[in-house]
């Protein structure tokens, strides 16, 4: 029973540990750029960074893996060369990507809040038209 519990705990740490550590690193980097004004803001920033890292980080890792598979193969080879588990080589690549996914979380959330704040008296159709106009302008369309 103890072995099963230990294995389950190890699996949970592997599954949640890397994203949480990456989120902590991204939060600390964000705090270095702009210190939170209140305790509530600090908790909101930590929460948003954790959500962004755990949701968008794995998506970015999968996209990077499909775009550049040789990078992950090389990381496995280097980990094996140093005598550690080759799966740890994947962590060497995935962890920075998870940090990068969480780093802009606070600014993205702030941009959405400001965008919705400027349009608080509009209905869903007007919001959709505004968003379509922004996308059209970003693509260079008329």
Write down the pLDDT at residue 100: 84
Residues 6+ away with beta carbon under 8 Å from 78: 89, 92
Note whether 99 and 27 are within 8 A (CB). Answer: no
Query: How many other C-beta atoms are found inside a 10 Å radius of the C-beta of residue 55?
Result: 13
Percentage of the chain with pLDDT > 70?
85
- pLDDT at residue 110, rounded to an integer: 79
Dump pLDDT digits (tens) for 58-67. 899 899 999 9
Q: Is the pLDDT of residue 112 over 50?
A: yes
- pLDDT mean over 44-58: 85
What is the structure's pLDDT at 63? Answer: 92
CA-derived radius of gyration, the chain: 20
Confidence band (pLDDT; 50, 70, 90) for 12? low
Across the chain, mean pLDDT equals 80
**Statement: residue 96 has pLDDT above 50:** yes
**Between these two residues, 2 and 40, which has the higher pLDDT value?**
40
Q: Does residue 13 have a pLDDT over 70?
A: no
Count the alpha carbons within 13 Å of 8 in the hemisphere toward its beta carbon: 5
pLDDT, tens digit, 9 for 90 and up, residues 17-34: 667 777 777 777 777 777
Alpha-helical (H) ranges within 34-141 are: 39-67, 69-81, 86-102, 105-118, 124-139
Mean pLDDT of 45-74: 88
């Amino acid at each position: 029973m103890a072995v099963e519990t230990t294995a389950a705990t190890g699996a949970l740490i592997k599954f949640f540990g890397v994203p949480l550590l990456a989120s902590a690193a991204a939060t600390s980097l964000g705090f270095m750029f702009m210190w939170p004004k209140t305790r509530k803001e600090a908790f909101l920033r930590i929460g948003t960074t954790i959500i962004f890292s755990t949701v968008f980080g794995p998506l970015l890792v999968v996209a990077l893996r499909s775009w550049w598979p040789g990078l992950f193969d090389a990381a496995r080879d280097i980990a094996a060369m140093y005598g550690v588990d080759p799966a740890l080589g994947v962590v060497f690549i995935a962890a920075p990507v998870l940090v990068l996914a969480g780093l802009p979380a606070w600014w993205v959330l702030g941009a959405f809040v400001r965008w919705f704040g400027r349009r608080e008296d509009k209905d869903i159709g007007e919001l959709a038209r505004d968003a379509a106009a922004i996308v059209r302008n970003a693509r260079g369309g008329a």
